Amino acid sequence: MSDMARRDLSALKATASSALEVARKLGATQAEVSTSRGAGLSVTARMRDVETLEYHRDQGMSVTVYFGQQKGSASTSDLDAAAVEESVAKACALARYAAKDPFAGLAAPERLAAGVPDLDLYHPWDVEPAQAIELALACEAAGLDFDPRINNSEGATVSTHEGVRVYGNSHGFLAGYPSSQHSLSCAVLASADGPMERDFEYSVARHADDLLAPELIGAEAARRATRRLGARKLDTATVPVLYPARLARSLFGHLIGAISGGNLYRKASFLTDAMDKKIFADTISIIEQPHIPRALSSAPFDDEGVATVDRTLIEDGHLRGYVLGSYYARKLGLESTANAGGIHNLVVSNTGEDFDQLLVDLDRGLLVTELMGQGVNTLTGDYSRGAAGFWVEQGEIQFPVSEITVAGNLSDMYQQIRAVGTDVDRRGGIRTGSVLVDGMTVAGN
Amino acid sequence: MTDTNTNPLQLAEQRLLEPAGLQESHLGDALGNMLSGGVDTAELYFQVARHESWSLEDGIVKEGTHSIERGVGVRAVAGEKTGFAYSDEIVVPALMSASKAAGAIARLGQQGQVQAWSRAGEQRLYPALDPIMSLADEDKVALLQQVDKATRAHDSRVQQVMASITGVQEIVLVCSSDGVYAADVRPLVRMNVAVIVEDGGRREQAYTGAGGRFAYEHFLSGDRALALGREAVRQALVSLEAVPAPAGEMVVVLGPGWPGVLLHEAIGHGLEGDFNRKGTSAFAGRIGEQVATDLCTVVDDGTLQGRRGSLNMDDEGTPSQCTTLIEKGRLVGYMQDSMNARLMGVPATGNGRRQSFAHVPMPRMTNTYMLPGPHDPDEIIASVERGIYACNFAGGQVDITSGKFVFSASEAYLIDKGKLGAPIRDATLVGDGPSVLQKVSMVGNDLELDEGVGVCGKDGQSVPVGVGQPTLRIDSLTVGGTGNA
C-alpha cells in the first residue's frame, strides 16, 4: 500500500469512528458509516490532438442511524469534523420522523467480516498526463489509420482512478481497503455512401499492465465501426439470437434484478417463489466468486460489512440462491447473502463451444452487436430492446442490420439458452461467454 | 425558509464565497493562473447542493435522507481543448491548485486577460426558495401517508404502494475571464408513486411522478398528490388486461405530453452543438434542410415558468432562451454551449449544462417540445386503419451517429379501423431520427408538457429536463413486440 493510501485509510477510519461516536452521544442505538476518498486523471485525444485533461478528486461520508426501529440517513462531501457532526445530527433528526420498522437495523454481528483478505485490487498507476496523452493518441491513431472509411472520431480516453473505502458500524466493525481501476477506450466513426456508423472498444483493469495495448483497442473500434456500414432492416421473424460475450452479461444482469430482495419481497419479479425451481436450461450453472484476485467486482465484505463468500445461484438450471442484503433478508425470513450494494463477480458456466462454433450452431438468425434502451420489465419478464447486428445464414455473417428490436420473455429466454461459449469477457462484474438463445422475435419491416 | 425575494447573487456569495473568505481578488488570481497562453476562457463554477428524500413502503415512511455536496469546478478552454479540475473544498489553496492543474492544457502563447465582471441579465423563472424548508418534516411524512391510504383505497386489487418525495436546492455562482459573474438559486421537487396490482394471479406495476422548480406546497394544492396515486393505479389496471404487443412496421399514434421523449431522443440529442461541430451527428451540416413534414415545429425552451428543465441561466451564466430547432419541417438551429458556439461561430443558446461542479459543461437540452398543429386528436386516431396508440413511455436512447433511436412504451393500445382496442404489453419502438419526422402526417391541437420527471443522461452526466408534444401520427415505425402484426 502506498503512503497516500495508508494515510487516507487511517484518516477515513478516524472520520468513521468519530461519526459513530457522535451518533452514540446523540442517543442512536445503532449506527453505520461509510467514508471514501479517491483521485484520478482522465485524458482524451481526438483527431490526433489532445482534447481534454481532467483531474478528479472525490470524497464523501454517509451515515445511517437507528433509534430503536426508526432510521435516518445523511451524507456529505465535506469531511471536516464540523460537517461530519452536522450530518450525523441531521440523520438523527430525520430518524425521529420515520415510522417504526421492525426489520430496520444493522447486519447480524456474527456475519461481519473477521478480516480483510488482500484481493490484489490496489495498483495505482503513476501515469503522467503527457504519457497518458501519448497512449490516447496512439490508440486513436490505430483506429483512424485502420481503414480509409474511418474518417471521424469521438476520441480515445485514458483514465485512472484510485481510492480508499471504509465501512464501520456500532457492532464494532471498522475496516477498509484501497483499490484502483484504469481504462483505455476508443470510439471512431466510419462512413461510405450511406449513413455514418460509430462503434467503440475498451479495456479496463485493476492493474495498468493488464490493459490491452492501445493499438489493439483503436483497431478493434475501427473494425467494429466499418463492418456496420451498409446496415439494413430485417423482415419480422422468430429466429435464434446470438449475444456475444460483451452483451450476454446483460441477460444475467436482468436475473440479478429479478432475484434481488426488494423485488422478491414486493413480488415484483417474474421469479417470485422460484427457489429450487428450474428457471434456466439445465446446462446453466452460475456462481458468485467475490475473491477473484484483481477482478473488477471483487470485495472482501459487502456494504454492510458482511463477509463475502463463494456461493451458488444457479445449479444445473435450478435457482439455489437469492441476492440479499440484511434488510430484505429479514423481511423474507432469510439470511443476508452478503449482497448489500450488489453482486461480487458472477461467473456463468459454459457449454464448451468457442465463438466460431456458436456462429455455426446459430446457423440462421441474428448476431446482435448492440442493444439499446431499457425495455425489460422485471415483474412480467417482458423483454423488448432495440438492436443492431448481423444477419447470419448457414453459420456465416451475411450483412449488417439495424433499426430492429429483439423481444421475448425472460422466463422463456432463460429456458431457451442453447449454448454458452468459452469466450469469456472479464471486463465487468458478470463473467460469461457468448450466449445463444432460441425462439426470439426480431421485429423490423 | 429562504425569502423568495432573495437576491440569488447575494445568497450565492454568502453561502459559497464568504465562509472561505474568498474575495474578488482570489477569483481573479485563480482565473489568471489559467490564462497563461492560448487559453480562450477560464472559468470557476462554485456550487452547493442540498438534497433530501422521504420514502414510503408497506404503509410506513421508513426513512428520510439528507445530503449536501459543495465544491468548485475549474475549467480552462483553449480552442477545442479543455483542462478541468475540481475540489470539494472551497478554500483558497485548493482553488489555486485546481486552477493550475486545469491551466496545464494550454500551449505556450500570449498571456490572456481577465475581463471586468458584469452581471448577466436576470430571469426569474422560479423563486430562490429552499424546497427542503418549504414544508415541515412531519407534513412531508403525513403527505406520503395520505397518498398511500388514498391509493390503496382506490381499488382492492392494489397490493403495494411505494411513494417518495425529493427536494433539492442548488446554489451556483459562475465567474469567468469573459466577464461573466452570475448566480442562480434553483429549487427542484418531485413526487413519485409506484403501485403493484394483482388480479387472479396476474401482477402488474406502474409508476407516475410529477415535479418542477417550486416548493412542496405544489403537491398540497387541490388533489395533485392523490391524483398521482390514482393515475398509477389506472395504468397498472390497464396493464392487467394487456395482450402481447405486435411486431413489425405500422402506423403509430403518440399521445400528448410525455411521449415527447420521442423528440428528445430522435431529434434533440442529434441537434446538440458538440456533436455537430465534430460532425459526429446524423444531423451535422444539415441546417436549412427539410428534416420533417411542414407540420412540425420543434423548440428547446429553457424559459418556461417553474418547469423541471427551466433555468434562469445555464451553468456558464448564459441566460436560457427559446431556441427553434425545426421550423415547419426545416432544420434551423442547434443547441450550444459557449465553447461550441465560439468554435462554430454562432451565438451561445443558454444550453451549457453540467451535472455538478465535478463535471464539465456541454450542450444539453432544457424543455424540448413540438408546437401544436391543426388536427383534432380523435380525428388522428380515427384516421388509422390498423396500428397502435402509445401514450406512456419508460424512457429511451439514441445513437446520434447513425440516428437510430428507441423508446419503450409502458401504456399503449391497438388501433383497429379507427378505434382504440386492447391494451398491449411493454414494447420498444425503434426508428431513425433524421427520417421519423418526415413520416409525421398529422399533428394534434392538444400540446401538453410532461409532468416534470425527465432525467437526461449524456457522457455519464444526468440533468433534469422536460419534454412535450401534441398528439402525433407517424405513418410508419417499428414496434418491437412478440405478437403478430
Q: Can you tell me the ipTM of this complex?
A: 0.93
B457 in reach of chain A (CB within 8 A): no
Q: How far apart are CA B133 and CA A397, in angstroms?
A: 61
B427 in reach of chain A (CB within 8 A): yes
Look at B478 and A443 and tell me if their CB atoms are within 8 Å.
yes
Q: Which of residues 195-214 of B touch A (CB under 8 A)?
A: 196, 198, 203-205
- Chain A hits for B340, CB-CB cut-off 8 Å, are none
Preferred mutation among A403, A411, A437, A445 to probe B, highest tally of B CBs within 10 A: A403
Q: Is B476 exposed, middle or buried, given 0-12, 13-18 or 19+ CB atoms closer than 10 A?
A: middle
E strand residue ranges, A232-345: 237-243, 286-288, 311-315, 318-319
- Residues A363-393 have pLDDT tens digits of 999 999 999 998 999 999 999 999 999 999 9
- Chain B hits for A388, CB-CB cut-off 8 Å, are 399, 402, 404
Q: Which of residues 47-86 of A touch B (CB under 8 A)?
A: 49-59, 62, 71-78, 83
Look at A374 and B408 and tell me if their CB atoms are within 8 Å.
yes
Q: Which three cell numbers stand for residue A234?
A: 430485417
CA distances A342 to A176, A338, A339, B246, B384, Å, are 17, 9, 5, 35, 47
Look at B430 and A403 and tell me if their CB atoms are within 8 Å.
yes
A129 in reach of chain B (CB within 8 A): yes
- Chain B hits for A50, CB-CB cut-off 8 Å, are 81, 105
Q: How far apart are CA A250 and CA A265, in angstroms?
A: 23
Look at B66 and A57 and tell me if their CB atoms are within 8 Å.
no
- Chain A hits for B198, CB-CB cut-off 8 Å, are 267
Look at A403 and B431 and tell me if their CB atoms are within 8 Å.
yes
Preferred mutation among B428, B461, B477 to probe A, highest tally of A CBs within 10 A: B428
Q: What is the mean pLDDT of residues B191-202?
A: 96
Query: What is the signed CA dihedral for B339, B343, B344, B349, rounded to 10 degrees?
Result: 20
Nearest CB to B480: which of A75, A443, A445?
A443
Preferred mutation among A51, A52, A88, A265 to probe B, highest tally of B CBs within 10 A: A52
Look at A98 and B61 and tell me if their CB atoms are within 8 Å.
yes
- Residues B228-258 have pLDDT tens digits of 999 999 999 999 999 999 999 999 999 999 9
E strand residue ranges, B303-458: 322-327, 330-331, 352-353, 362-363, 367-370, 386-398, 404-416, 419-424, 427-432, 440-443, 448-449, 454-458
Look at A99 and B62 and tell me if their CB atoms are within 8 Å.
yes
8-state DSSP, B265: I
Q: How many Cβ atoms sit within 10 Å of the Cβ of residue A117?
A: 16
Look at A268 and B89 and tell me if their CB atoms are within 8 Å.
no
Q: Which three cell numbers stand for residue A12?
A: 477515513
Ramachandran angles phi, psi of A347, nearest 5°: -120, 120
Which string of b and e fits A174-198 if b means at least 16 CB within 10 Å? Answer: bbbbbbbbbbbbbbbbbbeeebbbb
- Chain A hits for B45, CB-CB cut-off 8 Å, are none
Q: How far apart are CA B359 and CA A127, in angstroms?
A: 22
Q: Which three cell numbers stand for residue A83?
A: 460537517
**Residue closest to B180 by CA, chosen among B95, B82, B114, B103:** B114
Nearest CB to A198: which of B81, B280, B425?
B280
A384 in reach of chain B (CB within 8 A): yes
What's the distance, Cα to Cα, between the start and end of chain B in Å?
Answer: 57
- Residues B333-357 have pLDDT tens digits of 999 999 999 999 999 999 999 999 9
Look at A49 and B141 and tell me if their CB atoms are within 8 Å.
no
- Chain B hits for A443, CB-CB cut-off 8 Å, are 247-248, 430, 478-481
What mean pLDDT, rounded, does chain A reach? 97
Q: Which three cell numbers stand for residue B174?
A: 459562475
Q: How far apart are CA B252 and CA B250, in angstroms?
A: 6
Look at B84 and A52 and tell me if their CB atoms are within 8 Å.
yes
- Chain A hits for B274, CB-CB cut-off 8 Å, are none
Query: Is B340 within 8 Å of B143 (Cβ atoms)?
Result: no
pLDDT of B485: 45
**Residue closest to B272 by CA, chosen among B79, B465, B35, B64:** B465
Nearest CB to B160: which of A266, A382, A402?
A266
Res. A107: pLDDT tops 60: yes
Rg (CA), chain B: 24
Domain ranges (residues) in chain A: 3-227, 237-443
Look at A101 and B60 and tell me if their CB atoms are within 8 Å.
yes
Bridge partner residues of B478 (DSSP): B249, B430
- Residues A78-95 have pLDDT tens digits of 999 999 999 999 999 999
CA distances B66 to A307, A337, A403, B49, B50, Å, are 28, 28, 43, 11, 7
What is the distance in angstroms between the Cα of A152 and the nearest Cα belonging to chain B?
7
What is the distance in angstroms between the Cα of B206 and the nearest Cα belonging to chain A?
10
A229 in reach of chain B (CB within 8 A): no
8-state DSSP, A99: P
Look at A97 and B278 and tell me if their CB atoms are within 8 Å.
no
Q: Which pLDDT band holds residue B2 (cuts at 50, 70, 90)?
A: very low
Contacts by residues B77-80 (CB-CB < 8 Å, ≥ 24 positions apart): B77/B39, B77/B40, B77/B41, B77/B42, B77/B43, B77/B339, B78/B38, B78/B39, B78/B40, B78/B105, B78/B106, B78/B107, B79/B38, B79/B40, B79/B343, B80/A46, B80/A49, B80/A51, B80/B343
Q: Which three cell numbers stand for residue B433?
A: 431520427
Look at B428 and A405 and tell me if their CB atoms are within 8 Å.
yes
- Chain B hits for A46, CB-CB cut-off 8 Å, are 80, 278
Q: How far apart are CA B61 and CA B88, in angstroms?
A: 32
Res. B471: pLDDT tops 80: yes
CA distances B404 to A163, B279, B365, B398, B436, Å, are 38, 16, 19, 6, 10
Query: Is A53 within 8 Å of B82 (Cβ atoms)?
Result: yes
What is the distance in angstroms between the Cα of B181 and the nearest Cα belonging to chain A?
24
pLDDT of B109: 42
A197 in reach of chain B (CB within 8 A): yes
- Chain A hits for B428, CB-CB cut-off 8 Å, are 373, 375, 384-386, 405, 407
User: What angle do helix axes A129-144 and A214-226 make, rounded to 10 degrees?
Assistant: 30
Nearest CB to A196: which of B54, B140, B401?
B401
Q: Which of residues 220-249 of B touch A (CB under 8 A)?
A: 245, 247-249
Q: Which of residues 393-432 of A touch B (CB under 8 A)?
A: 402-409
Look at B482 and A46 and tell me if their CB atoms are within 8 Å.
no
With a pLDDT cut of 90, the percent of chain B lying above it is 85
| Strand B454-458 relative to strand A311-315, pairing | unpaired
Look at B428 and A49 and tell me if their CB atoms are within 8 Å.
no
pLDDT of B106: 67
- Residues A113-169 have pLDDT tens digits of 999 999 999 999 999 999 999 999 999 999 999 999 999 999 999 999 999 999 999
Architecture of the domain delimited by A3-227 = 2-Layer Sandwich (3.30)
Size of interface A-B (CB pairs under 8 A): 245
Q: Which three cell numbers stand for residue A31?
A: 449506527
Q: What is the mean pLDDT of residues B202-222?
A: 95
- Chain B hits for A54, CB-CB cut-off 8 Å, are 82-85, 360
Query: Is A336 within 8 Å of A306 (Cβ atoms)?
Result: yes
Q: What is the mean pLDDT of residues A406-422?
A: 97
Q: Which pLDDT band holds residue B456 (cuts at 50, 70, 90)?
A: very high
Element (H, E) at B240: helix B224-240
pLDDT of B1: 43
Q: How far apart are CA B194 and CA B206, in angstroms?
A: 6
Nearest CB to B408: which of A54, A373, A388?
A373
Residue of chain B whose alpha carbon sits nearest to that of A97: B138
- Residues B114-163 have pLDDT tens digits of 777 776 557 789 999 999 999 999 999 999 999 999 999 999 999 999 99
pLDDT of B127: 92
- Residues A237-293 have pLDDT tens digits of 999 999 999 999 999 999 999 999 999 999 999 999 999 999 999 999 999 999 999
Look at A236 and B67 and tell me if their CB atoms are within 8 Å.
no
Q: Which three cell numbers stand for residue A156?
A: 480515445
Max Cα–Cα distance, chain B, nearest Å:
76
B459 in reach of chain A (CB within 8 A): no
- Residues B32-42 have pLDDT tens digits of 888 876 788 99
Ramachandran angles phi, psi of B478, nearest 5°: -90, 125
Q: How far apart are CA A355 and CA A186, in angstroms?
A: 23
pTM of the model: 0.95
